Amino acid sequence: MTERRGSLTEEQVRRFEEEGYLVVKGLFAKEELREIERTFEGIGRRTVPGYFEPDFAADGTDPLKRYPRVMHPHRFDATAKRYMLHPPVLEALESLFGEEALAAQSMFYYKPPGSRGQALHQDNFYLKVEPGNCIAAWTAVDPADEENGGLLVVPKTNAHEIVCPDEADAKESFTNHYVKPPEGMKAVPVALAAGDVLFFNGNLIHGSYRNKTKDRFRRSFICHYANASAARISHYYRPLFRADGSEVDLESNPDGGPCGVEYAYYGAH
């Protein structure tokens, strides 16, 4: 009989702890994905100041001007908040954290054809969860692969410290931070079917490819969570939320981290 720890097996938890990431298949049903699609199709046709500010007159040379990522949609959309607190995701996170998970951030990426990727980076550089760490739940709304800009991870870098990033190549990355993999380690692709969720540790080095296709979006719904025993988090992510939707307001973490200063914020991932 397979041993379980919450909704996940002991083997899944062990793999996450060793590799720094874990794919769980089919945590979102087709009808749930359709609801997420409809929600963000609607958001994509308007401007939400501070959260989603597209350039509807963009000439197409940079597809992300028309379709930038949506930041913190849970703060203005009830459907986004409900799926940030999706019970199967929270149950898996409780297995991985070994305690209750608190929701800190939501995002939606359209990633249309031709879009730049995102250089390798570490999420807890931005969230600054202490003590403990953040975990991302990266949900594929469309199939994600090497052609349309799927995720890259550097396995086992969850055991490495958070480092101050270098400058990224602006021709390939829409963000300006880059973390070089440790010597002897390299990024590997993670292919996901629609409805799959990739969980990864806040220290894990990861990023994404450019979308090289002509006609395939790579839409994704991405949320970050902290362990319930955490005391501090960067003020950009407050308040946090329990599974029932109630707020939790951790202390603001003023620590400048490995760069020694309050670094420019662009949002994790």
pTM of the complete model:
0.95
Residue type, 125: F
CB 66 within 8 A of CB 58: yes
Q: What is the C-alpha to C-alpha distance for residues 7 and 225, in angstroms, rounded to an integer?
A: 17
- C-alpha separations of 67 from 110, 114, 136, 237, 266 in Å: 6, 11, 22, 23, 16
pLDDT in tens, 148-192: 999 999 999 999 999 999 999 999 999 999 999 999 999 999 999
CB 106 within 8 A of CB 74: yes
In the predicted structure, residue 261 carries a pLDDT above the cut 80:
no
- C-alpha separations of 153 from 173, 198, 203 in Å: 16, 10, 11
Which helix (H) or strand (E) element contains residue 151?
strand 151-153
CB 47 within 8 A of CB 54: yes
Listed in sequence order, the residues at least 6 apart from 31 whose beta carbon sits closer than 8 Å to its beta carbon are none
pLDDT in tens, 199-247: 999 999 999 999 999 999 999 999 999 999 999 999 999 999 999 999 9
Q: What is the CATH number of domain 4-45+64-258?
A: 2.60.120.620
- C-alpha separations of 78 from 36, 72, 113 in Å: 11, 11, 28
pLDDT mean over 113-125: 98
CB 73 within 8 A of CB 141: no
Check the CA dihedral 45-219-26-119 and report its sign. Answer: negative
Chain mean pLDDT for the chain:
95
In whole angstroms, how large is the CA radius of gyration of the chain?
17
Q: In what order do the strands lie in the sheet with 206-208?
A: 118-121, 206-208, 151-153, 188-190
Domain ranges for the chain: 4-45+64-258
